[in-house]
Amino acid sequence: MTSDQPSPVDPQEPAPSRERVIVHRAPKIWGFLGLGAILGVVATLVLTLLFRPADGAATVTEDGTEFGLSQVFGFLLVCLIPLGAALGAVVAIVLDRVLSRRAVEVDVERIDVATPSDTSDPTEIPSSTEAPEPTAPPTTPNEDTARS
């Protein structure tokens, strides 16, 4: 080893710290919410087509109000999409509880790495997004000013 090479241990760097952490898999909540909402749309479609009048006429309530097929579909859609999303969230929470039982406790080493502030990332976009100031177009003498 020559004197030009840095030593493997720099006395100015802090020593790595050891910590104990818990690692477990967790479901992605947005996927379950989206899947529940999609199931709400499918349930709406099935209920709308399953319980429509046989003659294809509008659905009539007890007080004589008539609702078309698209109105019934819209009403059910407004109710069943949030219900399906809530059901998806409950499934995600239950799945998270089940998966947390398989959690593993591990020892990790934490190393703080400081980067010099004077170096910049070549892929970084500059923070200044201002356009360059426009320059005035060249002026040509006017006929009125040329005569005087």
Q: Note the pLDDT tens digit of each residue in 87-144.
A: 999 999 999 999 888 888 888 888 877 766 655 555 656 555 555 555 656 666 555 5
Question: Is residue 7 included in any domain, yes or no?
Answer: no
Question: Is residue 24 included in any domain, yes or no?
Answer: no
Question: Is residue 130 included in any domain, yes or no?
Answer: no
Task: Quote the pLDDT of residue 125.
Answer: 60
Domain enclosing residue 101, as ranges: 34-107
Greatest mean pLDDT range, 3-12, 43-52, 57-66:
43-52
Question: Is residue 126 included in any domain, yes or no?
Answer: no
Cα 74 from Cα 105, distance rounded (Å): 49
Q: How many domains does the chain have?
A: 1
Question: Is residue 65 included in any domain, yes or no?
Answer: yes
pTM greater than the 0.85 cutoff:
no
Question: Is residue 87 included in any domain, yes or no?
Answer: yes
Centroid of chain to Cα 31: 11
Question: Is residue 124 included in any domain, yes or no?
Answer: no
Cα 32 from Cα 25, distance rounded (Å): 15
Question: Is residue 77 included in any domain, yes or no?
Answer: yes
